[in-house]
Amino acid sequence: FLAQDTVILKRIIYSWFKLILPVKLGGVQNVISEFQITLHSRDLLLLRKIHFFFGIGLVGEREDRNQAYYSVQSARAIVNVIIPHFDRYSLITQKRADYLLFKQAVNLLIQGQARSSSEGICDILSLKGSMNKGLSDTLKINFPAILPLPLYFFPPSFF
């Protein structure tokens, strides 16, 4: 990255650590972990640089929304590349809390716990309930006993 790219990333980045749990007949059948950065389409070159830097994932565009994105959905790639990067270069503000919960969830996925038992799925759901916008209405209806974990709180930091 160039120095100005780092400054741009610190100011305009919209990224998320996301857990996708599609609900089908009989409950959750699969858990997908995703790291995604979304920027305005004019910043596509920057996302390509990020893709080149990490060497994993894909870059795409949503032309109808004037957005470009960089996405990684492989749990192994996230554990081997994305997590070590954010462990070394910590996030600031509340995004760090989402990252720490996401990291726990991905580690559960890699260990096979979330895929092999209903208890593992419930652990993932509890983590998801504390991340970003919490559980979707569909997940709340299908899993009413799931309680989000206590939230990490990071005071605002200025950079």
Q: Which residue has the higher pLDDT, 19 or 10?
A: 19
What would the mean pLDDT of 21-35 be, rounded to a whole number? Answer: 69
Question: Within 13 A of 117's CA, how many CA atoms are on the CB side?
Answer: 8
Q: Would 66 be classed as within a structural domain?
A: yes
Q: Would 99 be classed as within a structural domain?
A: yes
Q: Would 148 be classed as within a structural domain?
A: no
* Residue 54 pLDDT exceeds 90: yes
CATH of the domain at 58: 3.10.28.10
Q: Would 155 be classed as within a structural domain?
A: no
Tell whether pTM > 0.75: yes
Which of 2-6, 109-113, 131-135 shows the lowest mean pLDDT across its residues? 2-6
Number of independent structural domains in the chain: 1
CA dihedral 38, 43, 47, 53 (to 10 degrees): -140
Q: According to the model, what pLDDT value does residue 24 have? A: 61
Structural domain for 103, as ranges: 3-142
Q: Would 133 be classed as within a structural domain?
A: yes
Q: Would 159 be classed as within a structural domain?
A: no
Q: According to the model, what pLDDT value does residue 1 have? A: 46
What would the mean pLDDT of 137-142 be, rounded to a whole number? Answer: 82
Q: Would 7 be classed as within a structural domain?
A: yes
